[in-house]
Each structure stands twice: as structure tokens, then as C-alpha cells.
Structure 1
């Protein structure tokens, strides 16, 4: 069990498992009906996943344009709160197929808010890719089109995900289990 910042971390999804699943996800998307794609990475948590997935898209023969949007629902804590649009996309979405990339589909509120925003702006369709899907916590009626892993009902860190802005740098997804 790795120790980071004097905390024990239980590894749920290893770096190797994540890498393998990202390659599979890119191949699934490449075979889909999506065309004229604009990838929109939802910051901050998805930045590591999005970077690796976009490179995997390239290896799968895709060349989508890439944008970023920042929607905050956590702040520095662990409980979801009110949604705020912190950074908007700069590209035109009208008539495009949008792929939203997020680290975790949990309550669904952030992804539903962002998907609805893209559709209101005239997106042709919006597909969702989530590294993790924690269905037990779902509040909004929304599902991902492509999922990396089903996530247990635990607060996860690593691979871009944090608690209080810590642990984003970990190359795996894990759970803080206690002090070292």
C-alpha cells in the first residue's frame, strides 16, 4: 500500500489498468458515429485523464479539436455543492459532435449541466466519457456513453482527482485509508 504525504493509499485502479482501458476507450470512440468532434475536458479533475485519452485518440487515428471548461461543484471539500461555471469554452459548438471528458460521473449534476449547456448552444450531439462511474451516488438523470471503470462508493483520489487539492499527481486511482 503506497504512502503519500504520510497517508496510506489503497490502490483501486493501477496506472497499468488505466492505460489499458484508455486505449480501449479511444478505439471504441474511433468506431463510433461521432464526426466533426470537439473534445471538451471538464477541469480540474479530468486533466490527466483527458491528456492521456486525447493522445490515445491520436493513436486510434482521430484528430479532434480540444477545449476546456471549468465547472465547480466541490471547492476545497468533499461534498458537492452549487454549480458555478468558472471557465467557458472558446470554440463554436453549433453543429459539432461534442465529447465531454470527466474524471468521475457521480451525482451527474456537473455533466448534466455541461451537456445541457452544449446542447443549448446547438451541438449536434454530446457524448460523455467518464473515467469512473459511481452509479450509487447518481442524482441527475444522465449516463456516460463510454466508461473506464465502475467505481465503488468511496471517495477517490489520484490521476487528477483530489481531496483539498492534494493527491492529483498520483499515477493511479486510490482511496486514502488512514495515517502512515
Structure 2
């Protein structure tokens, strides 16, 4: 077991909670019909859970589904190849879908998921991301709803991890000295 690393808080718990309430109001203003929330696992699970509760508080009654996609595996940057590890079980045909992801960086994962759901007949696919790194896009996409613009640092917490650690943190943070410890990923 490696020694614990210090995590600097980037977005604290209260700030995230307030922003989730604002996002829920913005999503409700888009007047979604027959709403299905599809959370992209694993990183978005905390954001999705809190956002879904906030959607309930503003009067929406979405159904909830999950899709597990990966383009990172045990790396800190996207491989460029998106793989479906677990697919949505619900029929999306004719429905408004809110695709919820933790971070919009290269854009490949969310474009893949959005295209997949549209090809299956979704009426509209809206996207909500907790964080976006605008300078990191590999494909052309903008999220419909963005929690925060994030600096170009590797973030953990609030569902996001590094080598399966730090997901439990109630805030988004930056692990100090990440670049000097490549052994976290089994590499050199």
C-alpha cells in the first residue's frame, strides 16, 4: 500500500451542491419530455445521483439508466478508443435523454454515447457534465449543461478516481505530486 497523498480542494462540497441545484433548474427550463437520465459510469455516479435528486426537487420525474464506457482504463489520458462495458437496458426511442458524465475533456466518450443514443431513436440527447476542459477537445462538442470549467489538471473525488482511489471524496480535488508517481498505473 502506498502512502496517502495530499489532495487539494478544487471545488468544495457546498459549491458543487449549489451548482447542481442551478443545473437542475436549467435542465427543467429545457422542458424535457419522457426524460431518461443516462449516467456514464463510473466517474459520474456521485454527480448523477445528486443531480437526479436536484431534478426531483424542481419537479422532474426522470427514469434512470446507466452506461459504462471507457476510453481511459488505467491511464490519465484518453486512449482515443471508446469501449462499451455495460449498455443501457431501456428503450430510448422517442424520449428525451439527459446524458450525464463527470468530465468533458477529449469529447470522444460523450460524442460516442450521444451518437449511440440518437441512432437508437432518442428524440433529443442533452448532455450534462460536472467539469469541462475546453482546451482538450479532440472532437467537436459542447455540453448543454456544464457544472464548472476545470483547469488542465488531473482531478479526483466526487466519483472520479486514480487507480480506483479517491472516488469517495465529497469534493473535486487535485492529487499533489501525481506526475512524479507513474507506478500508480503499473507503468514506468
| 2:181 paired residue number | none
1:60 paired residue number: 58
Q: Which structure: greater strand fraction?
A: 1
Shift of 1:9: 1.0
Q: Which residue of 1 aligns with 2:162?
A: 163
Long gaps (5+) in structure 1: none
Which residues of structure 2 form unaligned runs of 5+? 179-188
Alignment pair present for 1:37 and 2:14: no
Q: String of CA shifts for 1:77-136, please: whole Å, max 9, x gaps.
A: 212112110111010001001100000000000000000000100111100000001111
Aligned to 1:105: 104
Give TM-score, length-normalised by structure 1: 0.95
SS in 1 for 2:155: coil
Post-superposition, which runs of at least 4 consecutive aligned residues in structure 1 deviate over 6 A? none
Match of 2:25 among 27, 48, 62: 27
Hey, what does 1:93 align to over in structure 2?
A: 92
| 1:6 Cα offset (Å) | 2.1
